[in-house]
Amino acid sequence: MQRHTVRTVRESLLLLALAATVLSASKSFAIPAFSRMYGTSCSTCHIDFPKLNDFGKAFKDAGFKFPKDDESMIKIPPVMLGAPANSELWPKAIWPGVIPGIPPIGLRYNNYFQYTGTSSSKFNQLLPPGTAPPFIPTTDFQTGFFSIFTAGNFGSDIAFWVDDDISVSGANANGGLGEAYLKFVDIGRLMKLPSYALSLRVGQVELDIPFTQSKSIWISPYDIYTQANVGAVNAAFPLQQFVNNSFTFAGSGKGIELSGGHSTGGYHYSIAFIDQNTSGASQGSNNNYVPTATGSNFGGVGVASDSNFKDIYTNFQYRFNLERDKESRNAIQAAGPTGPRDHTYLNVGSYWLYGRSVQRLSGATPDGLPTVITAREPFYRVGGNMTFNYRCCLQFNALYMYGHDYNLLPIDANGFLVSLPVSGTPPPVGFIHSRPATFSGGFADVEWLAYPWMMVLLRYDGVNSTSDYVNGLVPGGFTGSPFNGAASATRNRITPGVQFLIHANIKASFEYQFRPSQSVVIGTNPITGFPVAMNPFHTNTAVAGLEFVY
């Protein structure tokens, strides 16, 4: 019975991991509503949607409107929410405002087909002879996202964006809000700051990470962006860590963001303050005493934070446009001999996030009275990135990240370490600092627009996490590691891909993932005495995706 349960969990996790590879990544969006409004093609703003070209970046920076003469470009005039003369009454105010002349709504659907290497059958070795093996399909069709998104400008440089997955994997319940925010563009002008020196974004946002995950052209997510930090808890190893930080850059944050500069040249910065939630769980909504944001004592939504602390995120980028001609260098797009194109440029930057991971335990006071003890473990993520873009068609990207979580181990009343996971006996009374849980890694990719309708891709992902490695070396089961029985602490993945724009709004994508090796047979190293993965194998996958937006 217990073995059956283990197998079921194992199967579920394996399939979940495989499905996650396909589904967790490609939350990508282009905005056909803008095509309708301006009567222009997707390719005005996108190279291989949803990847933005320089004009698309400038359009976004300006608050989803043309950087110059926007009014003359709009084919469907906006609806005035007040006569312009009203502004004479309150010249310093921001009304009367407009709403788009049509509901700026776009829809997107994608589905996938995945082929998994036959080596996946090695998972059968987990089971004793005569036991039904876990079934991992070699080929599998999967529905992806059906998403709705809306964006535009309310006038007075106030932009908005909302996207929501109506269904994921064919299940409506799995949908969720991606980003939803208002952006007050160039509010720095009210303080007589230089143009575009300060904008404000409020709502649920993807952090201003150097390479977007939610609007990536890749089917598979960047491994480093999905890296949580779970400390080592495998009892077979001496290394023990009380770290369970589910924060990843792949998720959205709720809060505010100040930003400035341009994405098309020169500096760009952002500073964000977002809710702390490293436990991954929203708090309950049935608080009798404190009203929730959408209700009184009962009802409404629960609060999102799991502590008072707000994570702080900063990002600074500088982009050098490399055209010799100054006029062209400072234009939104370079004037190529055959047409406008993106600049040849070098972009370098760095980013940093600081938070406090909260874990609460049922413990005791030194006097033995029951209480709840709280570990607030500072953590940070820091890294750098670079992009070299050559003219229209060739781009090299790289990102590095280092993650560090302070590690507070629970101790009992005698000052001895409490075994992990905490069982309650003896009750913990406090914490002492121990070896931090760290990880590092990143990715490097090359994106070559071979034709306006064909993008060739190659990416390397690498993640080094000792705790993931240790946690995965558990015979017959998963313990929170993203990989079972990884052959080493560093997980490498190489992903070639190619994408075709069948139409400007229809795309076929193919990726082959040379995935890290893992094992289901865990032995013991005769020299160290520690568990070790044996007979490691790769579950490589080939994924084909079809998606359209309209």
CB distance 218 to 112 below 8 Å: no
CA distances from 329 to 253, 263, 269, 325, 335 (A): 35, 14, 20, 6, 9
Q: Minimum distance from CB of 56 to another protein (Å)? A: 12
**544: number of CA atoms within 13 Å, CB side?**
7
Q: Between residues 81 and 335, which has the closer beta carbon with respect to another protein?
A: 335
> What count of residues does the chain have?
550
Check residue 196 for interaction with another protein (CB under 8 A): no
Of residues 493-512, those binding another protein (CB under 8 A): 504
- Of 47 and 429, the one with the shorter C-beta distance to another protein is 47
3-state secondary structure 270-334: EEEEEECCCCCCCCCCCCCCCCCCCCCCCCCCCCCCCCCCEEEEEEEEEEEECCCCHHHHHCCCE
Positions of E strands within 154-265: 158-168, 177-184, 199-206, 229-230, 244-245, 252-261
The closest alpha carbon to 223, from 248, 253, 244, 206, belongs to 248
58 vs 232, beta carbon nearer another protein: 58
Choose between 43 and 279: whose C-beta lies nearer to another protein.
43
> Considering only CA atoms, which of 439, 383, 409, 377 is closest in space to residue 228?
439
Answer for which of 29, 34, 38, 443 binds another protein (CB under 8 A) is 38
Residue 454 sits in the site that holds another protein (CB under 8 A): no
Interaction between residue 101 and another protein (CB under 8 A): no
Considering only residues 328 to 347 of the shown chain, the ones binding another protein according to CB under 8 A are: 331-333, 335-340
66 binds another protein (CB under 8 A): yes
Contact flag: residue 26 with another protein (CB under 8 A)? no
Regarding 55 and contact with another protein (CB under 8 A), the answer is yes
Q: Which of 4, 75, 433, 435 binds another protein (CB under 8 A)?
A: 75
Stretch that binds another protein, among 72-80, 163-171, 273-281, 395-403 (CB under 8 A): 72-80
First to last CA, the chain: 50
39-58 CB burial, b ≥16 within 10 A, e <16 = eeebbbbbbbbbbbbbbbbb
CB of 397 to another protein, least distance (A): 24
Q: Rule CB under 8 A: is residue 41 a binding residue for another protein?
A: yes
Closer of 35 and 484 to another protein (Cβ) = 35
Residue 73 touches another protein, criterion: CB under 8 A: yes
Among 3, 8, 16, 39, binds another protein (CB under 8 A): 39
For 191-208, the three-class secondary structure string (H helix, E strand, C coil) is HCCCCCCCEEEEEEEECC
40 touches another protein by CB under 8 A: yes
CB of 102 to another protein, least distance (A): 17
Residue 397 engages another protein in binding (rule: CB under 8 A): no
Tokens of 225: 């962006």
**Residues at the interface with another protein (CB under 8 A):** 38-41, 43-44, 55, 66-69, 72-73, 75, 331-333, 335-340, 504
